[in-house]
Amino acid sequence: MNIAIVGLGYVGLPLGLQFARCGQNVIGLDIDKAKVKKLNQGQSYIKHIPSTVIQSEVAAGRFAATDDFGKVKEVESVIICVPTPLSKNREPDISYILNTGQAIAPYLRRGTLVVLESTTYPGTTTEDLRPVLEKGSRLRAGVDFPLAFSPERADPGNPQCAVADIPKVIGGFTPACRDRAMALYCQAIKTVIPVSNCRTAEATKLLENIFRCVNIALVNELKVVYAAMGIDIWEVISAAKTKPFGFMPFYPGPGLGGHCIPLDPFYLTWKAREYGQNTRFIEMAGEVNGRMPQYVVQRTIEALNSQRKPLNGSKILILGLAYKANVDDTRESPAFHLLEMLKASGAQMSYHDPFIPVIGPTREHANWKGVRSVVWNRKSIASFDAVVICTAHDVVNYAELAAWAGCIVDSRNAMAKVKTKRGQVWKA
């Protein structure tokens, strides 16, 4: 089977390599020529994907990357894995999906399966993508070519969540479309879950991320409330999760990051207005999570005040730039909000992240492009007035941090097991 994967990022590349490992011929399509060149040379640009894995599939002739969308003529299936960000007005931006549809439509053949994986609002596959594909190909979905939606499910950096082991939810434009998509994914994924249609599959993905967003908002709000009461939220969660039923632990932080949880709930919020429905619970969760960087900034001010230092003019280090531990992914990372807010108040800002030696191009924070991670040694770390832990990478030596830094603002409970001086660590 020949398969085209459109979008070779954190979703598309692992998926393409999994199909290749299972004996399929995979063409990776991406408009980024630098990515295409690296992949064909067997080089990885994602930390948790070893270059050896890419080299093996390229050498075997099962995987090749290109920016030539005409290659779609050579495949039986096309899987779309492109970004779905929010616009500046916090509205869904499905332009990447529609542009991809326009790019592949002229090359679609009768019988070629098209599957959308990008997270989006219910109706995108059939109401937005389908007309673009039909117009450009002069073929009819469900008659001349099968169309389906299967939401991406990925947990970058988690060794327990291999692509093959994560069940795939699949909905089709017609039952026959669904069955064709299931036959495709069964080649590489152990478990496939059929649902009645594309809209149900799209809604499933949103529910998964809204569930996390709302529960994280809950513990973030409780963190602030309990702190005012002199109660440690981390100790409360640790005790509560001993209950063997009816409780699932979620953990607070400096804000939400990643491509899914900060964005996906608002795809449903936006679509719900079309039906005259309000999503107050989701919007409130977004407001709570969105306020967390301000809370960290306030705690940083309090920590500096305890040492009779003003925020204006202080040297502050953000420790951890990635949106989650042990990855090199900075998408929607709250660390950028902290950098911006503290800098706007006059602080001299730097960062250290062992996985991100230099900040690359980002859609939202282009002004930080090219800034380099400071070196990790006693002289460097001790030169800062405060160190704000934003992301708790496992490889960071927190005992060294305690020995070198005079003031630490900890938003991740990373210093809980490290011996520190009285008043040295401020929880945020």
Residue 229 included in any domain: no
Residue 250 included in any domain: no
- Any residues with CB less than 8 A from the CB of 175 and at least 6 apart, and which? none
pLDDT for the residue 260? 77
pLDDT for the residue 418? 96
pLDDT for the residue 415? 97
Neighbours of 221 (CB within 10 A): 19
- Any residues with CB less than 8 A from the CB of 408 and at least 6 apart, and which? 386, 387, 388, 389, 401, 402, 415, 420, 424, 425, 426
Residue 407 included in any domain: yes
pTM: 0.92
What CATH number does residue 141 fall under?
3.40.50.720
Task: Look up the domain containing 143 and give its range.
Answer: 2-196
Based on the residue annotation, tell me whether 407 is a catalytic residue of this protein: no
Boundary (domain end) residue, out of 178, 196, 214: 196
| Residues in the chain, pLDDT under 70 | none
Whether 269 and 190 share a structural domain: no
pLDDT for the residue 48? 86
> What is the spatial distance between Cα 84 and Cα 419, in angstroms, rounded to a whole number?
43
Tell me the DSSP string of 335-373: HHHHHHHHHHTT-EEEEE-TT-SB----SS-GGGTT-BP
Dump pLDDT digits (tens) for 123-169: 999 999 999 999 999 999 999 999 999 999 988 778 788 999 999 99
Residue 257 included in any domain: no
pLDDT for the residue 50? 93
Whether 11 and 157 share a structural domain: yes
What's the number of domains the chain is made of?
A: 2
Residue 244 included in any domain: no
Residue 219 included in any domain: no
Whether 190 and 294 share a structural domain: no
> What is the spatial distance between Cα 14 and Cα 20, in angstroms, rounded to a whole number?
10
Report helix, strand or coil for 2. strand
pLDDT for the residue 224? 97
Boundary (domain end) residue, out of 175, 196, 217: 196
Boundary (domain end) residue, out of 196, 222, 243: 196
- Of 81, 213, 260, 390, the catalytic one is 260
Whether 285 and 181 share a structural domain: no
Residue 48 included in any domain: yes
